[in-house]
Amino acid sequence: MSTQHNIDVDVVVVGAGFAGIYATHLLRTKNNLTVQGFEKGSGVGGTWFWNRYPGARCDAESIVYSYGFDDEIQQEWTWSERWATQPEILEYANFVADKLDIRQYYRFNTEVASITWDEETATWTTTTADGATTVSKYVITAVGCLSASQVPNFPGLADYRGEVHHTGAWPHEGVDFTGKKVCVIGTGSSAIQSIPKIAEQAEHVTVFQRTATFTVPARNRPLGVDEMALVKAAYPALREHAKTTVAGVIVKQPIGSALELDDATVRAELDARWASGGPSVMNAFTDTMTDMEANQITAEYVREQIRATVKDPATAALLTPDAYPIGTKRICVDTDYYETYNRDNVALVSVREHPIERIGSRGPVVDGVEHDCDILVMATGFDAITGPLLRLNITGREGLPLSEAWAEGGKSYLGLSVAGFPNMFTITGPGSPSVLTNMIVSIEQHAEWITDALLALEEQGIDTIEATPEAQEGWVSYVNEVANTTLYPQAASWYMGDNIPGKARVFMPYAGGAHTYRSICEDVAGAGYRGFALSSRDRAPKVRVPVA
């Protein structure tokens, strides 16, 4: 434990999702540091606490989208379906929080208003919305990548007479769509999961689509007792294997280049993966995400499935994506999405040529037509990756707000540390693999790396650790370089910040693979935290080595 006297706690942790739960657990049990956690919600679970819309499920399979650090936890918990529902994942988060007795370290229903560095005392002051302050030596943000929900600034929205719900802030009591006319804005993952469920209940659903989306069938199924027993026996090996993969998941490996394999082999592979369900079609070939011609082979395959499923040719044409390479906007995983457009009570309105002009008192207005509805569902996404961090109003050295430091995009060293923001760590921050991977695997790696670093620094009497500007620039350039070897930058996506007016256009995650990233992080730590400035308050900086 720290001997610093002017602090309330050693570490402030923001967020009680999977990242906050595990980081807090390690800080208490491994580092023996005092922790104050803050969580805006009334309970743990993060994304799974807020995204309670109908049909919400994870697009990573349950057996891998779960913690691997504790064998007791993985042996006691049993998943019931291949793709877990939001309620089941939330139950799991609560189960883990109980096992680790983690809630005692958190203040729930407590929003962080600002976090400010004090140069004199080398401490952070966290101010919460209720005006209380907490002084700490370290701050760890565990705010997730998709927690800052985004509602477009539609004129007239305030005067709409019906209910409005964003998928990312769904009412806990649920929404009863029975006998209601519903308008859904957006066709990303949240919309694609919720529309089929809403359509089953509502009198009528109108979907407003700006960009047609590629989605693949989940082919969900129950996990039987025998299957789960096999998984439990294999967990240690599965977890180790997941760490060696690009995305931290266990998927069938690519069979080769789509351009070099013969057509029959390509077709058979896509058929097999489509039939088995989930996003593995994206992983069928080595060049899907790097070569436009190869990409179009998989894209065209999915387009064919859409045309074969949707009965009305005009609707099928509208639903067929043509605006971006497949996978460069996050691939969606659905249950009966395209089939839903065969229902009589579902209509699709393209807002590509004619954007939503305003929200009238009765509903969205497009091309002069007001679409009457009782409930308006905003499936309009998030200010991703940097948004949740910027909303914390963080101010670093010399009074520099994070918003200014990031005016040209989220700059960070390893996605873990920002130059000018000492003793602050960002779990799954910009420049780390985060959303391109299984988030829980990436969260575990970050929480373990950060707490190992704190252990090493505390033992050596180091007071502050901070990315050097040179290391940060080097990492940002490398992240961009890697992104530019892929097709990702070719889409207008939330990965690129395109969905937020005025946001810098930068590919935010590291696309080099979770396995590569892990070894880079290990290498940095092994080299005495290369690229970080480490200093003691009574001495000049001890180490200041630019990134190699």
> What residues make contact with ligand N01 under the rule CB under 6 A?
57-59, 146, 152, 167, 185-191, 193, 208, 210-211, 330, 333, 351, 356, 379-382, 435, 494, 499
User: Which residue's CB is nearer to ligand N01, number 183 or number 405?
Assistant: 183
Minimum distance between the CB of residue 298 and ligand N01, rounded to whole angstroms? 18
Taking the complex as a whole, the smallest distance from the CB of residue 439 to ligand N01 amounts, in Å, to: 9
Structure-token pair, residue 354: 């004619």
**Burial level of 470, CB count in 10 A (0-12/13-18/19+)?**
middle
Beta carbon nearer to ligand N01, 387 or 531: 387
Rounded CA gap, 434 and 382, in Å? 15
Task: List beta partners, residue 36.
Answer: 12
State the burial class of residue 505 (Cβ atoms within 10 Å of its Cβ: 0-12, 13-18, 19+). exposed
- Residue closer to ligand N01 by CB (options 380, 432) is 380
Contact in structure between 20 and 39 (CB atoms under 8 Å): yes
Whether 149 contacts 382, CB under 8 Å:
yes
Tokens of 377: 């569902």
DSSP 303-339: HHHHHHH-SSHHHHHHHS--SS-TTSSPPEEESSHHH
Is-contact 432 414, C-beta < 8 A? Answer: yes
Smaller CB separation from ligand N01, 62 or 128: 62
Cβ proximity to ligand N01, 123 vs 211, nearer residue: 211
Min. distance of Cβ 98 from ligand N01 in angstroms? 24
Closest residue to ligand N01, based on beta-carbon distance: 188
Quote the least distance from Cβ 333 to ligand N01, whole Å: 5
How many whole angstroms separate alpha carbon 470 and alpha carbon 329? Answer: 31
Q: Shortest approach of ligand N01 to residue 285 CB, angstroms?
A: 22
Residue 548 is encoded by which pair of tokens? 């190699």
End-to-end CA distance of the chain: 33
Nearest distance from C-beta of residue 164 to ligand N01, angstroms: 14
Minimum CB distance to ligand N01 smaller for 64 or for 333: 333
CB of 507 to ligand N01, least distance (A): 14
318 touches 279 (CB < 8 A): no
Structure tokens at 432: 């780390």
In the complex with ligand N01, the residue whose CB is nearer, 166 or 446, is 166
- What is d(CA 356, CA 69) in angstroms, rounded to the nearest whole number? 47
Q: How far apart are CB 101 and ligand N01 at their closest, in Å?
A: 28
Give me the least distance between CB of 400 and ligand N01, in Å please.
29
Helix, strand, coil percent values for the chain (each to nearest 5): 35, 20, 45
Residue 499 CA to residue 170 CA, distance in Å, equals 21
- Min dist CB 366 to ligand N01, Å, is 10
63 vs 379, which CB is nearer to ligand N01? Answer: 379
Beta strand residue intervals within 122-230, DSSP E: 123-128, 133-141, 163-166, 181-185, 204-209, 215-217
- In the complex, minimum distance from the CB of residue 188 to ligand N01, in angstroms, rounded to a whole number: 2
**CB of 87 or CB of 179, closer to ligand N01:** 87
- Give the E-state strand segments of 169-214 in sequence order: 181-185, 204-209
543 forms bridges with which residues in the sheet? 534
Instruction: Look up residue 480 and give its DSSP letter.
Output: H
Q: Which is nearer to ligand N01, 44 or 349 (CB)?
A: 349
Between CA 369 and CA 150, with CA 166 as vertex, the angle to 5 degrees is 90
Q: State both tokens at 311.
A: 């009965």
Could you give the CA distance from residue 220 to residue 149 in angstroms, rounded to a whole number?
27
Residue 208 pairs in a beta bridge with 185, 349
The residue (of 124 and 170) whose beta carbon lies closer to ligand N01 is 170
Q: Which of 456, 459, 504, 515 is nearest to 480 (CA)?
A: 504
Minimal distance, residue 103 CB to ligand N01, in Å? 25
